[in-house]
Amino acid sequence: MKLVHLSDLHFPVVLPFSSLKGKMIPGYLNYTFRRRKKYPISLWNAIVRKVNLINPDAIIISGDITNVSHWKEYDESKKILEPVLSNNTFMIPGNHDRYTEEATGYSGKEIPYYEKFFSPWMGETVPTKSGYLRIKKIGKLTLVGWDSNMPLSVLNAYGYVKEEIVHSTLEYLEKEKLDHYFLICHHPIWNPPERQESSGHRMKNREEIAELLKKRPPLAYLHGHVHTNWVKHPDPQKPYYVINSASSTRISDQRHQSGFHVMEWNEKQLQVKRFSYSEEQGEFTETQTISYEEKETNGR
Ligand SMILES: [Fe+2]
Ligand SMILES: [Fe+2]
């Protein structure tokens, strides 16, 4: 079984300045001046070509489709994503997709934009007392989606997942006898030593979550949010792969090793391959994974 993991697509959608409100204004200015030229649409077109060649059993997108959660960004992103949207697609939101109160549905009073546009590809909802838990089964593998995001001030981008969601996830997997699963969540559960996040950017309670996951660990934890790729191999503290495919559509530079991962699972082993954009060829080509083994990470 082959799975493609994409993340942090941050599509370059131009917005009328007059339509921006509140934190969207500094957010959009920041994006326009610092990021937009790093995200040419030609990289997305090259991803689509490569994904078509790979012909995967599942395409997983771990959030940050938009930049400031503007309705127009959602509308255009859906059109841009169209070539990869099928029964085999599984998407979760990132913090940029839950940027404002309006986009998140004013605390549950209205349908959030992400759900309005992408519900058919977000999996089935597992009922919980409160919170987001979505599931999609692909053959013998279950994909579990969490939402670690909430609208925050423009200076913050941290994440949080209620412990109750972890309990509900593990109970559901046990009840349904689903032994093999991937967990997909926008915020990292682990960072390489040289790419630690500040408390305003990281998932606040990730160590508590990691502790609870020990009861029934996933095969892999797929995420984005920090815009450089990595793969952590299973270790005693976190006995699963941690795979970061952010930011798949960005031009690489010294601080940002962009690309995406393809995982092959044969019901026993998981093999991870990385693809990055080659300027020379104008295509994504297989390249070395940026791997962290147990001895290097010392069980972090
Ligand atoms: Fe992002
Ligand atoms: Fe993010």
Q: Tell me the three state secondary structure of residue 181.
A: strand
Two tokens at 226?
A: 């920090």
What is the reported pLDDT for 300? 42
Residue 3: CB atoms within 10 Å: 25
Which residues, 6+ apart, have CB-to-CB distance to 281 below 8 Å?
none
Domain ranges of the chain: 2-297
**Whole-number pLDDT of residue 93:** 98
Instruction: Give the separation between CA 143 and CA 220, rounded to whole angstroms.
Output: 10
Taking a 5 Å cut-off on Cβ, the residues next to ion ligand 2 are: 64, 94-95, 225
Query: Whose atoms come closest to the Cα of 187: which ligand?
Result: 2
**Alpha helix locations (H) across the chain?**
24-30, 41-54, 71-81, 105-108, 113-118, 163-175, 206-213, 294-297
The ligand minimizing its distance to the Cα of 6 is 1
Distance 176 CA to ligand 2 centre (A): 31
Cα(171) to centroid(ligand 1), Å: 31
Contact 260, 272 (CB under 8 A): no
Ion ligand 1: residues, CB < 5 A: 8, 64
Q: Could you list the pLDDT tens digit for every one of the 300 residues in the chain?
A: 999 999 999 999 999 999 999 999 999 999 998 888 999 999 999 999 999 999 999 999 999 999 999 999 999 999 999 999 999 999 999 999 999 999 999 877 899 999 999 999 999 999 998 899 999 999 999 999 999 999 999 999 999 999 999 999 999 999 999 999 999 999 999 999 999 999 999 999 999 999 999 999 999 999 999 999 999 999 999 999 999 999 999 999 999 999 999 999 999 999 999 999 999 999 999 999 999 986 544 444
pTM attached to this predicted model: 0.96
Residue 97 CA to ligand 1 center (angstroms) comes to 10
Q: What pLDDT, on the 0 to 100 scale, is given for residue 44?
A: 98
Predicted pLDDT at 295 = 55
CATH fold, domain 2-297, is Purple Acid Phosphatase; chain A, domain 2 (3.60.21)
